[in-house]
Chain A
C-alpha cells in the first residue's frame, strides 16, 4: 500500500521546478511540508532538530530534482530524503542490523485498539519507544510504507524491519495498558 493512494497532481509543478522554477518548488514545499515535518518530528522527537531535518530535506530535494524519476511518487521520494537526513543527523545512528530475529509471519502494519485511546497518550507512547522500533512503527504503521520500502529507507533488512515493528507493537500495547506517563 502506498502512503498516498490519491493521484498526485504535482507532475506539472515538478516539471517546472526541475527547470529551475523556485516558485513551483515553493508550491511543492507548501503542499508537502506538513507530512515531511511530521515524519521528521516523530523520528527525532525533537522539534528543533525536526525543523532542521525538514529544511535540509527540501534543500536536498531541490538539488536532486533533475534526477527524480517522474513515474515515482514524489512524496515517497521526499520522505526517503527526509528519513536519510534524520539518520544522518542522529548522534547515535541506527545500527546496520544484520542478524535480528524475523518474526516470520507477515504482521499487519496498522495497529488498532479495542478501546479508543487518547491521541496525546498514543503520541507519548510512540515517543517513548526505542529508536529502531519507533522508526519502523512510524514508517509502516503511521505512514503506510511496506516493510520493504521502510527497510530500504532505514538501511536495514526487511526481516529487521518486521522484527522492529513487532517489538514496537508489543511495547506500545504494554505502555498504553500501564499508562505512559
Chain B
C-alpha cells in the first residue's frame, strides 16, 4: 500500500541494496593492503600550504588595488595545468566547463600580466604560482591518500580560491579600460 507523507523527510532514508554487498567488499579489503593501526597524523605540510595560499591571496589583493600602468614587457608564464590526476581529483574539478573557464581566465590573466609593470607582474605571478603549487601539493597528497575528505575539501576550496584570484587579476585590467 502506498503511504502518504506530508514532509519530505518522512521518506525512508534507509533503502537496503538489492543484494548483499558484503561478500564483494570483504573480498576487496582482504585483497587490499591491511589497515594501518597508527593514529592518523595531520600532514605536516597542511598548515604551510594554507599559509602559503593565504599569503598569495593577500599579495594579489594588495597588488590589484594599486594603480598599475600598462607597459610592454616580456611574457610571464603561468601554470596552465589544473589539477590533473583523475584518480584523486573530486568530480567538480574534472568538469569540462570548469576547465574551459580556467583556461580562458589564464589566457586573459596572461595578457593582463604582460601589461603590468615588471615589479608588479612578478609579484602577482609569484602569488599565483604559490597558489598553484599549493594545489599541486594537495593533489600529490591526495594521490597518496585518495579517500581523505579533508584533502578533497581543501583541493576544491583551493581551486575556487585560484579562480577568484584569477578573476580578480583579470577584472583589474577591465576596470582600467
B40 touches A66 (CB 8 A): yes
A58-B25 contact, Cβ under 8 Å, with A63-B35, A63-B147, A98-B163: yes
Among A41, A68, A116, contact of B15 (Cβ-Cβ < 8 Å): A41
CB within 8 Å for A87 and B91 given contacts A80-B149, A120-B2? yes
- Kindly identify which residue among B9, B34, B146 contacts A144, using a CB–CB cutoff of 8 Å: B9
B174 contacts partner chain A, Cβ-Cβ < 8 Å: no
A96 interface residue per 8 A CB criterion: yes
Residue B145 interfacial (CB < 8 Å): yes
Check if A20 sits within 8 Å of B37, measured CB to CB: yes
User: Hey, what's the 0/1 contact readout for A8-42 against B, CB within 8 Å counting as 1?
Assistant: 00000000011110100110011001110111010
Contacts of A51 in B (CB 8 A): 17-19, 21
CB <8 Å contact, B14 and A34: yes
Which A residue sits closest to B27, measured CB to CB? A59
Interface of A is mostly: helix
Chain A residues, Cβ within 8 Å of B97: 95-96
Give the size of the chain B interface in residues (CB under 8 angstroms). Answer: 54
Q: How many A residues face the partner with a CB closer than 8 A?
A: 70
- Establish whether residues A122 and B11, one from each chain, have CB atoms under 8 Å apart when the complex forms: yes
In the complex, residue of chain B having the shortest beta-carbon distance to the beta carbon of A111: B8
Q: Is the CB of B8 within 8 A of A141?
A: yes
Q: Which residues of A contact B17 (CB under 8 A)?
A: 33, 37, 50-51, 54
Q: Can you list 16 A-B contacts with CB-CB less than 8 angstroms, sorted by A residue number?
A: A19-B35, A33-B17, A50-B17, A51-B21, A63-B147, A64-B149, A68-B40, A93-B94, A95-B92, A95-B98, A98-B163, A110-B8, A116-B6, A143-B13, A155-B152, A156-B92
B contacts, CB < 8 Å to A: 2-9, 11-19, 21-22, 24-26, 28-30, 32-40, 90-95, 97-98, 101, 145-149, 152-153, 156, 159-160, 163
Apart from A68-B40, A96-B159, A117-B6: 14 A-B pairs, beta carbons within 8 A: A18-B37, A20-B35, A37-B15, A37-B17, A38-B15, A59-B28, A63-B35, A65-B35, A66-B37, A94-B91, A96-B160, A142-B8, A144-B9, A152-B153
